[in-house]
């Protein structure tokens, strides 16, 4: 036993230190990912997402129609896929790409479909077109000569736009349009629509959205779905990370705080070995402790607390005499005593629970009643003891 106890103690200490180190590493990893790694949401309009705002359903429909959909998650992959032949480039807004890069990437494709219209991309790709308001979500007729929109008939609309020079607008709402398209000098088209209102898994079954999506995206046998990543940013155009936005003193302060935490853990968590039981030089007898507590109650003139101590001890003995459990409430003990003696319950409850002494005389009388009650119960339970 003397050898096993220190071994278990050292084992628990080692497990505690291991848990502390793992916790600190986890906190450092999560904090570092937020400060230096940033966060990018991939669910919205992501071609491989099955969530409500994903677009996997329209990708599956295009593949069932015989089209080949290539998902490119960086610029180099998109350029390689576009170099293989005529293809339709589908992309979200890419604020990290410069105007020249956006134009150059669009020139590599036969058709360009922008599914998240923003002011800069509209101005660059569609001759100065601008954003407008929002529709009320009702179905609108195409009312234009663009074949993909005309074949869809009526479709739901979302964000509206104002066309620039030589730009055709479809699905008109109060002078603005939900779809813009323009022919490019080198051939092909550039089309812009609100993908959240037409292409997502939740909106695709509504009205003519599916027909419009297949018509706009399926103009070639190959569709390159480009999902821009922060690594594609042109120098100086990437949005600043949280680490770049924080003052220079934040990182040293975090390191200092971690070092202080480790130092405090070492200081407060050190142990000098197993605990040792030390024998006291003096043994205090129980009756002396009781007498000392009684003198304290007497000097404070607290008859109520003194009677509570007497009642507690008396109830404990009565519980053993009557065969009750240690957790039996005081009122139930009093009821059991009254039933055993055939006495009035209110009187027994007063003796064991309710009566409150105010003077020393009352305390002495209550103690006498407790003693007599306990003696009566003992005589009722063990009648042979009364002859002694």
For residue 97, the 8-state DSSP code is S
Per-residue pLDDT of the chain (388 residues; tens, 9 = 90+): 444 445 555 666 667 677 777 777 777 666 655 544 444 445 688 888 888 888 999 999 999 999 999 999 888 899 899 888 889 999 988 888 888 888 888 889 999 999 988 888 888 888 889 998 888 778 889 899 888 888 888 888 788 999 988 899 999 998 899 999 999 888 889 999 988 888 899 888 888 889 999 999 999 999 999 988 877 776 555 556 676 677 888 888 888 999 998 888 877 766 666 666 767 666 667 667 767 777 777 777 778 888 888 888 888 888 888 888 888 888 888 888 888 888 888 888 888 888 888 888 888 888 888 888 888 888 888 765 544 4
Q: Are 319 and 326 in contact (CB under 8 A)?
A: yes
Chain centroid to Cα 221, Å, comes to 43
**Two structure tokens written together for 337:** 């005593």
Q: What is the pLDDT of residue 39?
A: 41
pLDDT given for residue 10 in this prediction:
63
> Tell me, what's the pLDDT at 182?
92
- Looking at the DSSP bridge assignments, the partners of residue 162 are 130
pLDDT in tens, 204-238: 888 888 999 999 999 999 999 998 887 777 655 55
Question: CB of 200 within 8 A of CB of 45?
Answer: yes
Res 2: pLDDT: 43
User: For residue 129, what are its two tokens?
Assistant: 């077109």
Indicate whether this model's pTM tops 0.95. Answer: no
Percent of all residues in the chain with a pLDDT value above 90, rounded to a whole number? 15
Q: Which residues contact 381 (CB under 8 A, 6 or more apart)?
A: 321, 322, 340
Please state, in angstroms and as integers, the Cα–Cα distance from residue 224 to each residue in 68, 75, 84, 199, 221, following that order.
8, 11, 11, 16, 10
Q: Which two tokens stand for residue 82?
A: 């576009």
Structure tokens at 369: 């009643």
Cα–Cα distance measured from residue 157 to residue 366, given in angstroms and rounded to the nearest whole number: 88
The pLDDT score that the predictor gives to residue 150 is 87
Instruction: Report whether 213 contacts 47 (CB < 8 A).
Output: no
Q: What is the bridge-based pairing of β-strands 111-114 and 88-91?
A: parallel
> How are beta strands 168-173 and 176-183 bridged, if at all?
antiparallel
Where helices occur in the chain by DSSP H, the ranges are 4-32, 56-64, 75-82, 99-107, 119-125, 147-152, 195-198, 209-217, 242-245, 250-269, 286-300, 303-322, 330-341, 345-349, 360-381
DSSP class per residue in 177-225: EEEEEEE-TTSSEEEEE-HHHHTSTTTTTSTTHHHHHHHHHTTSSEEEE
- Per-position b or e across 300-336, b if 16+ CB within 10 A of its CB: eeebeebbeeebeebbeebbebbebeeeeeeeebbbb
Q: Which residues pair with 113 in a beta bridge?
A: 90, 191
**What is residue 281's predicted lDDT score, i.e. its pLDDT?**
66
Instruction: Please tell me the predicted confidence (pLDDT) of residue 271.
Output: 62
Distance CA(77)–CA(89), nearest Å, equals 12
Candidates 195, 144, 139, 203; CA nearest to 170 is: 144
Taking only the tens place, the pLDDT of each residue in 315-344 is 888 888 888 888 888 888 888 888 888 888
> From CA 350, how far away is CA 152, in angstroms rounded?
90
CA triplet 318, 323, 327: central angle to 5 degrees?
75
| pLDDT in the model for residue 105 | 87
């Amino acid at each position: 036993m003397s050898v096993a106890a220190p071994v278990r103690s050292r084992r628990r200490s080692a497990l505690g230190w291991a848990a502390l180190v793992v916790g600190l590493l986890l906190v450092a990893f999560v904090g570092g990912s937020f400060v230096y790694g940033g966060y990018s949401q991939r669910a919205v309009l992501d071609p491989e997402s099955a969530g409500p705002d994903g677009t996997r359903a329209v990708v599956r429909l295009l593949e069932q129609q015989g089209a080949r959909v290539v998902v490119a998650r960086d610029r180099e992959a998109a350029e390689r896929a576009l170099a293989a032949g005529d293809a339709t480039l589908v992309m979200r807004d890419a604020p990290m790409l410069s105007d020249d890069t956006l134009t150059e990437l669009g020139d590599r494709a036969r058709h360009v479909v922008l599914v998240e219209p923003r002011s800069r991309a509209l101005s660059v790709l569609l001759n100065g077109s601008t954003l407008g308001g929002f529709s009320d979500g009702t179905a609108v007729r195409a009312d234009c000569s663009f074949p993909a929109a005309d074949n869809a008939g009526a479709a739901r609309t979302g964000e509206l736009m104002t066309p620039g020079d030589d730009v055709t607008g479809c699905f008109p709402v109060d002078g603005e349009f939900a779809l813009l398209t323009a022919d490019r000098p080198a051939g092909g088209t550039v089309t812009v629509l609100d993908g959240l209102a037409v292409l997502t898994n939740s909106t695709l079954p509504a009205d003519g959205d599916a027909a419009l999506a297949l018509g706009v995206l399926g103009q070639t046998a190959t569709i390159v779905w480009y999902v821009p990543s922060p690594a594609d940013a042109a120098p100086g155009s990437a949005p600043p990370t949280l680490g770049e936005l924080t003052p220079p003193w934040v990182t040293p302060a975090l390191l200092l705080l971690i070092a202080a935490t480790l130092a405090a853990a070492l200081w407060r968590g050190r142990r000098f070995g197993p605990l040792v039981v030390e024998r006291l030089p003096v043994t205090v007898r129980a009756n002396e402790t009781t007498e000392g507590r009684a003198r304290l109650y007497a000097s404070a003139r607290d008859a109520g607390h003194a009677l509570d101590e007497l009642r507690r001890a008396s109830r404990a003995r009565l519980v053993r005499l009557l065969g009750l459990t240690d957790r039996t409430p005081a009122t139930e003990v009093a009821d059991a005593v009254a039933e055993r003696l055939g006495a009035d319950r209110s009187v027994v409850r007063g003796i064991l629970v309710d009566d409150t002494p105010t003077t020393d005389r009352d305390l002495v009388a209550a103690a006498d009643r407790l003693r007599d009650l306990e003696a009566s119960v003992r005589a009722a339970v063990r009648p042979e003891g009364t002859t002694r």
